[in-house]
Amino acid sequence: MSTRSLGTPTVADYLLDRLASLGVRHLFGVPGDYNLKLLDTVVEHPRIDWVGTANELGAAYAADGYARTCGFGALLTTLGVGELSAINGVAGSFAERVPLVHITVGPAQAVEHAGAVVHHTAGDGVYDRFARAHEPVTCAQAVLYPHNAAAEIDRVLAAALTHSRPVYIRLAADVASAPVTITAPSAPSAPAAAAAAPMPMPMPIVPEDVVDEANLAAFLYAARNRLASAEHVTVLADFLVDRFRARDGLTRFLTSSGFPYATLSSGKTVADEGTEQFLGVYSGKLSDARTRFAVDEADLLIRAGVLLVDTTTGAFSHGFDTESGIDLGPHCATVDGKRFEQVPLGIALAGLAELVADLGEVHASRPAAPTLAPKSAPAQQPQGNSPLTQDELWDVVAAAVRPTTTVLAEQGTAFYGICTRSLTSGARFIGQPLWASIGYTLPALLGAQLADTSRRGLLLIGDGSAQMTIQELGTIARLGLTPVIVLVNNDGYTIERAIHGPRAPYNDIASWDWAQMPATLGASDALVLQARTATQLQAALHRAEKATDQLVFIEAFTGRHDVPELLQRIAESVGTRNGGSRQ
């Protein structure tokens, strides 16, 4: 019987309720004997469903895709073996600023106190070894006991949102089922001497932005001077806008200013790609000439939530001065190198939106960027019946994207191919170019699809990456989800072949019969198609669009040495930096 029905909230009840209050409706993970009782509570929970994945790494990637879509994610594993399987995914969320909680359950407190040699430990009575392994990849950690659980849960969940990073919670099996002790209020700022109360309403977890009003005013003053004298202003936006919940602020600023804008590939679709103002994805000197000119030659570049990474800047070949212009970080704004602390991104964007509305007449009299070269001509509609090329592949895929599509693109030819194609207004994009752990996107598709069923996932993934995490296709099918998957079969690690060792054996993979894979993994109702030409791919995507109630799996064949143009240029620069070439 549920402890909830007896009216006695347990630590597990409290934890799940707090996750539900953050919009979490699904908890990903794999059972283990230590966490089974907690899982009973999950199964009984009115607002949270359990999503068992094939392995814990899949759960971590799924929780990440979930959090990127609806704001917060959660996964549950068992001590040692489970949590270590997940840790690469958690580290990816740490790097890419994705807020989620990793909960690990170990044996009962008495077992731990006795230092017993139990399974999933190293046999030396040390139980926090893997909790310590999480310290470098989470922004807060907690060990729960009944007396501290409520405050500790709230503390770490608030930290995850403040820093937009994962947090880690460890608890013993019997702690999960123990009654929780709640002091009122349970917010992080609760006075230590707060009176004990039976079950007060907990404080909201979502932290308020900390704003230094004087710094904000000083920032806006400096920004106003800079804007008033700037002839050509360009905005460069990136993924931190999304992670720090400033997307609406950015949209308002771009709309009210009319400034041309680009994004980095890591921030693709953080701003609408369907407008006249959109310049394209900026990749340093590897960008298309028009985009590069507008960003590098602007006399005022406003950067919003930008993190410069080798994979997104053409190996740091950006041509703008990072010490000049306006730079909006998550919690600090900068004007020509002068820092204004405690000016959060969303607040700074709102302030700039008002400011440009005031300055509107000045700017309205100026063309946005008079010397820009014309936007590159749209790619030719592929007609051919010759073998499908990478160039055609991404044009055809981009044309199939709809406003309710969430595109997930895996590191490999997929990411670098699609990122240069503008997607229609409303489309969302998920990639992982910083952590760049291949196999990420397939479980992330599971998470993204569950987090928002009004959108259809379109996964673009290479054969090498898919071999890492394909088992979660079974989970996607088991849950009756109906995304579209385009698997690029180019017979191995083509991206690596382009960087080094085009014919080296280490870039080869086993040849799988992909067309059999959906049925093998339980997706027997899937629509499975193959495309060897652009025409076939167009037809396959057309069928996929109609088949809204089916999981669609399209195997698209391209040449083992065929790479998108951007990747070719990246490969040349990376190959040179890593030293030498190998045939």
Ligand X SMILES: Cc1ncc(C[n+]2csc(CCOP(=O)(O)OP(=O)(O)O)c2C)c(N)n1
- What is the binding site for Mg ion (CB under 5 A)? 462-464, 490, 494
Among ligand X, Mg ion, none, what does residue 437 contact (CB within 5–8 Å per kind)? ligand X
One symbol per residue from 396 to 415: x for binding ligand X (CB under 6 A), - otherwise; what is it?
Answer: --------------xxxxx-
**Which residues are CB-contacts of 318 (< 8 A; sequence separation ≥ 6)?**
282, 284, 285, 295, 296, 308
CA distance 55 to 39: 16
CB 16 within 8 A of CB 26: no
Closer residue to ligand X, CB minimum distance, 89 or 305: 89
Among ligand X, Mg ion, none, what does residue 406 contact (CB within 5–8 Å per kind)? none
CA distance 381 to 371: 29
CA distance 138 to 121: 21
One symbol per residue from 422 to 451: x for binding ligand X (CB under 6 A), - otherwise; what is it?
Answer: --------------xxx-------------
| Residues numbered 520-549 forming contacts with ligand X, rule: CB under 6 A | none
For β-strands 49-52 and 26-29, DSSP reports them as parallel
Among ligand X, Mg ion, none, what does residue 545 contact (CB within 5–8 Å per kind)? none
Closer residue to Mg ion, CB minimum distance, 139 or 563: 563
DSSP 203: P
Closer residue to ligand X, CB minimum distance, 259 or 416: 416
Query: Can residue 488 be called a binding residue for ligand X (CB under 6 A)?
Result: yes
CA distance 208 to 217: 19
Tokens of 283: 């990749």
| Residues numbered 84-143 forming contacts with ligand X, rule: CB under 6 A | none
Q: How far is the CB of 486 from ligand X (least distance, A)?
A: 11
Among ligand X, Mg ion, none, what does residue 58 contact (CB within 5–8 Å per kind)? none
Q: How far is the CB of 322 from ligand X (least distance, A)?
A: 27
Q: How far is the CB of 531 from Mg ion (least distance, A)?
A: 15
Position among 259, 340, 493, 553 found at the interface with ligand X (CB under 6 A): 493
Closest CA to 160 of 73, 84, 227: 73
Closer residue to ligand X, CB minimum distance, 104 or 558: 558
Closer residue to Mg ion, CB minimum distance, 491 or 565: 491
Torsion of CA 142, 148, 151, 154, to 10 degrees: 40
Query: Can residue 494 be called a binding residue for ligand X (CB under 6 A)?
Result: yes
φ, ψ dihedrals at 554, nearest 5°: -110, 120
Position among 464, 474, 483, 564 found at the interface with ligand X (CB under 6 A): 464
In the numeric block, the tokens 């699609």 are attached to 418
CA angle 139, 475, 141 (to 5 degrees): 15
Among Mg ion, ligand X, none, what does residue 486 contact (CB within 5–8 Å per kind)? none
**Which residues are CB-contacts of 516 (< 8 A; sequence separation ≥ 6)?**
none
Q: How far is the CB of 13 from ligand X (least distance, A)?
A: 37
Alpha carbon separation from 214 to 340, 342, 568 (Å, rounded): 9, 10, 48
CA angle 93, 94, 96 (to 5 degrees): 60
Closest residue to ligand X using C-beta atoms: 462
Among Mg ion, ligand X, none, what does residue 63 contact (CB within 5–8 Å per kind)? none
Tokens of 203: 């404080």
Binding site for ligand X (CB under 6 A): 410-414, 436-438, 462-465, 488, 490, 493-496
